């Protein structure tokens, strides 16, 4: 597979490194409107071709697939253009900024017959794959209750950088600069973490969003700090189970932490994933009576990058697909409505 990376900032280096390590993949081009950034990126990763637009890359045309690592709002037009040009697309999350555009992308992708996948990165966590396997095996019985959280501390810690002075963080706090807040940034991750791990679909949702005061007049320079900082979400799943899902950037002591707890009528499991490691614990059998949790060993899993490569080679679609990501985006869109209207809405 010959691959072009569209957008050379942020996550692009991760894509370049991951794909270049896969046998049979050649990263042959980079695309960016910033020539300096493009040249630095291509030099760092040994990429031979550079283009200042997707149109220019498509005019050249000597590639099979696109890794779309552009800003969120650019995913929609660029992915559609690439698909219509007969290129497979591996798109960063979220698929688009709203469900309407996301499902437009789904329609084009499915009509084109090209491979289309979204990089929901926590699918690469072996403990999440194992958790899903345990649930689907029936080991913990019928799922009754799900709890999931995604906690970050960069609003109270400078471990990643200082949002008061650094634009890479400030823009995430301002809707005028393209941010949909914590819901738009990491909401899709924790929704997928919860529903995929539990092997269930979300039927109904009710959410609350909150933006906290962070500066005089909630403004720093040209940045209005109006994007949501925390959200809570109550959901019910297609089997009748209840779920509580929440996320915050005010979580002191948690640089980047996801937790998933799934309770069934025969046992429970708990997954903790942090930047420096993951752990999966299980309470079943006789341990139910003593409250003992035992760690579950896991094996490495195939990454999204490898699954996309395999799908392109085989011609058989793989997950997570555009349609799956669009369904998650629908839930995120509904979260905004439920916060405004203060009542639950169906997600299907």
- CA dist 266 → 146, 160, 239 (Å): 14, 41, 16
The pLDDT value given to residue 168? 84
Q: Say whether both 106 and 131 belong to one domain.
A: no
Average pLDDT estimate for 142-167: 95
Average pLDDT estimate for 92-107: 96
Answer whether residue 242 shows pLDDT above 90.
yes
CATH number of the domain that 174 lies in? 3.30.360.10
Q: Say whether both 189 and 240 belong to one domain.
A: yes
Percent of the chain with pLDDT over 70: 100
Taking only the tens place, the pLDDT of each residue in 10-28 is 899 999 999 999 999 999 9
Angle between helices 12-20 and 304-314 (to 10 degrees): 60
Task: Identify which has the larger pLDDT, 250 or 345.
Answer: 250
The pLDDT value given to residue 175? 92
The pLDDT value given to residue 186? 94
Average pLDDT estimate for 184-190: 94
Q: Say whether both 143 and 20 belong to one domain.
A: no
306 lies in some domain: no
Average pLDDT estimate for 157-169: 92
38 lies in some domain: yes
Q: Cα–Cα distance between 243 and 263 in angstroms, integer? A: 10
Answer whether residue 344 shows pLDDT above 90.
no
When divided into structural domains, the chain yields a total of 2
Nearest to 90 by CA among 9, 11, 1, 5: 5
Q: Say whether both 285 and 162 belong to one domain.
A: yes
- Indicate the residue among 119, 153, 175 that finishes a domain: 119
Q: Say whether both 218 and 294 belong to one domain.
A: yes
Q: Say whether both 183 and 36 belong to one domain.
A: no
The pLDDT value given to residue 230? 98
Answer whether residue 348 shows pLDDT above 80.
no
Structure tokens at 251: 């979580």
Count other C-beta atoms under 10 Å from residue 171's C-beta.
Answer: 16
Average pLDDT estimate for 78-93: 98
Q: Say whether both 148 and 190 belong to one domain.
A: yes
37 lies in some domain: yes
280, 298 Cβ separation under 8 angstroms: yes
Average pLDDT estimate for 63-75: 95
Q: Say whether both 92 and 177 belong to one domain.
A: no
- Indicate the residue among 300, 315, 336 that finishes a domain: 300
Q: Cα–Cα distance between 300 and 251 in angstroms, integer? A: 29
Taking only the tens place, the pLDDT of each residue in 193-222 is 999 999 999 999 999 999 999 999 999 999
The pLDDT value given to residue 102? 97
317 lies in some domain: no
- Indicate the residue among 77, 97, 119 that finishes a domain: 119
Q: Say whether both 168 and 234 belong to one domain.
A: yes
Angle between helices 126-137 and 181-198 (to 10 degrees): 50
Average pLDDT estimate for 173-178: 90
Which range, of 2-6, 107-111, 167-171, averages the lowest pLDDT?
167-171
Please state, rounded to an integer, the average pLDDT across all residues of the chain. Answer: 96
pTM above 0.85, yes or no: yes
- CA dist 289 → 71, 77, 217, 262 (Å): 50, 55, 54, 18
Domain that holds residue 254: 126-300
């Amino acid at each position: 597979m010959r691959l072009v990376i569209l957008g050379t900032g942020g996550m692009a280096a991760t894509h370049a490194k991951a794909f270049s390590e896969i046998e049979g993949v050649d990263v042959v081009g980079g695309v960016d409107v910033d020539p300096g950034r493009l040249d630095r990126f291509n030099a760092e990763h040994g990429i031979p071709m550079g283009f200042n637009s997707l149109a220019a890359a498509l005019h050249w045309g000597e590639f099979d697939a696109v890794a779309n690592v552009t800003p969120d709002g650019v995913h929609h037009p660029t992915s559609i253009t690439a698909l219509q040009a007969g290129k497979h697309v591996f798109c960063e999350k979220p698929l688009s900024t709203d469900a309407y555009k996301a499902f437009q992308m789904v329609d084009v992708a499915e009509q084109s017959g090209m491979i289309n996948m979204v990089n929901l990165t926590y699918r690469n966590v072996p403990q999440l794959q194992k958790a899903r396997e345990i649930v689907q095996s029936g080991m913990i019985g019928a799922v009754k209750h799900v709890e999931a959280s995604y906690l970050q501390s960069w609003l109270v810690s400078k471990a990643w950088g200082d949002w008061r002075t650094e634009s890479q963080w400030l823009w995430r706090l301002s809707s005028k600069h393209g941010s949909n807040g914590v819901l738009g940034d990491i909401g899709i991750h924790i929704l997928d973490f919860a529903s995929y791990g539990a092997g269930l679909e979300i039927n109904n949702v009710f959410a609350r969003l909150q933006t906290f005061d962070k500066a005089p007049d909630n403004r720093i320079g040209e940045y209005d700090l109006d994007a949501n900082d925390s959200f809570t979400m109550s959901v019910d799943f297609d089997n009748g189970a209840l779920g509580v899902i929440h996320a915050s950037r005010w979580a002191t002591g948690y640089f980047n932490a996801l937790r998933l707890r799934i309770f069934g009528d025969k046992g429970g499991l708990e997954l903790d994933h942090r930047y420096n490691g993951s752990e999966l614990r299980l309470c079943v059998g006789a341990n139910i009576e003593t409250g003992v949790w035992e760690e579950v060993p896991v094996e490495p899993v195939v990454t999204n990058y490898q699954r996309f490569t395999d799908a392109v080679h085989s011609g058989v679609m793989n997950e997570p697909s555009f349609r799956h990501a669009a369904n998650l985006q629908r839930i995120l869109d509904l979260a905004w409505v439920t916060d405004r209207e203060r009542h639950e809405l169906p997600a299907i």
